[in-house]
Chain A
Amino acid sequence: GQNIDQPTEMTATEGAIVQINCTYQTSGFNGLFWYQQHAGEAPTFLSYNVLDGLEEKGRFSSFLSRSKGYSYLLLKELQMKDSASYLCAVRAPVVIKAAGNKLTFGGGTRVLVKP
């Protein structure tokens, strides 16, 4: 089975840094994704990690530790427009044909950026 946990809500101040943690317990693993979703809109891709370590992309960075079943998304220099839900998702291994490219999502973390 798949179990993905992330905090429900976080609040931070404009210009600050926020770290959103995600822990997972899955029967297989072939990558972890972070998506951003503004209220009433589609999720948009932020990052993908399949190997251990830190991936940096502008103000956003994502870290993965496969041995610990742990990832985090780091948002720096927070802006008001960063207020959104952040979704952690694990991809099933492609060697299991039936699982294909299926993503299993956590419940999402709602981040509120205050002035």
Chain B
Amino acid sequence: NAGVMQNPRHLVRRRGQEARLRCSPMKGHSHVYWYRQLPEEGLKFMVYLQKENIIDESGMPKERFSAEFPKEGPSILRIQQVVRGDSAAYFCASSKTSGRPAYEQYFGPGTRLTVT
């Protein structure tokens, strides 16, 4: 059973370009979460999605960032017009359903975004 998959693992973008980060949840998981980790800091929640629905985007910056989880295909985190401050590790996690006992979130390996 493959775990949470993210690609690319490393992404380099110049300022002003767009970054697209992909996440495929574990088989049987319908809930996806995106977290950002700045160097030497903890993980910060960004957005929580179910298929075709954004459930909670309270951690998303108001501009340039968007996320989707279409009916078919992976979840996408999109960052437009990247700036140096966007350089971070972006982790995706998935879980079976909300509520117990499916509380555990499994994390993917992360995408390390570097903005030059």
Would you list which residues of chain B between 54 and 69 have a CB under 8 Å from chain A?
A: 55-56, 58-59
Residues from chain B with Cβ under 8 Å of A97 in the complex: 55
Question: Taking beta carbons and an 8 Å cutoff, which residues of B are in contact with A?
Answer: 4, 31, 33, 35, 41-45, 48, 55-56, 58-59, 91, 95, 98-100, 103-110
* Chain B residue nearest to A89 in the complex (CB): B43
Contact A100 B48 (CB under 8 A): yes
Residues from chain A with Cβ under 8 Å of B95 in the complex: 101
Report which of A35, A45, A89, A100 forms a contact with B56, defined as CB distance below 8 A: A100
Residues from chain A with Cβ under 8 Å of B104 in the complex: 33, 45, 48
Residues from chain A with Cβ under 8 Å of B31 in the complex: 100-101
Contact B103 A91 (CB under 8 A): yes
- Distance of A100 Cα from B31 Cα, bound (Å): 10
- Distance of A106 Cα from B33 Cα, bound (Å): 17
* Chain A residue nearest to B110 in the complex (CB): A42
- Distance of A48 Cα from B106 Cα, bound (Å): 13
- Distance of A98 Cα from B99 Cα, bound (Å): 13
Residue A53, interface by CB 8 Å: no
Digitize A54-88: 1 where CB-to-B-CB distance is under 8 Å, 0 elsewhere. Answer: 00000000000000000000000000000000010
Residues from chain A with Cβ under 8 Å of B98 in the complex: 94, 100-101
| Minimum C-beta distance from B5 to chain A (A) | 11
Residues from chain B with Cβ under 8 Å of A45 in the complex: 104-106
Residues from chain A with Cβ under 8 Å of B107 in the complex: 35, 42-44
Contact B91 A101 (CB under 8 A): no
Residues from chain A with Cβ under 8 Å of B108 in the complex: 42
* Chain B residue nearest to A30 in the complex (CB): B103
Contact A102 B43 (CB under 8 A): no
Contact A98 B33 (CB under 8 A): no
Contact A103 B42 (CB under 8 A): no
- Distance of A94 Cα from B109 Cα, bound (Å): 26
Contact A42 B109 (CB under 8 A): yes
Contact B103 A99 (CB under 8 A): no
Residues from chain B with Cβ under 8 Å of A102 in the complex: 33, 45, 48, 56, 58-59
Contact B56 A103 (CB under 8 A): no
| Minimum C-beta distance from B67 to chain A (A) | 14
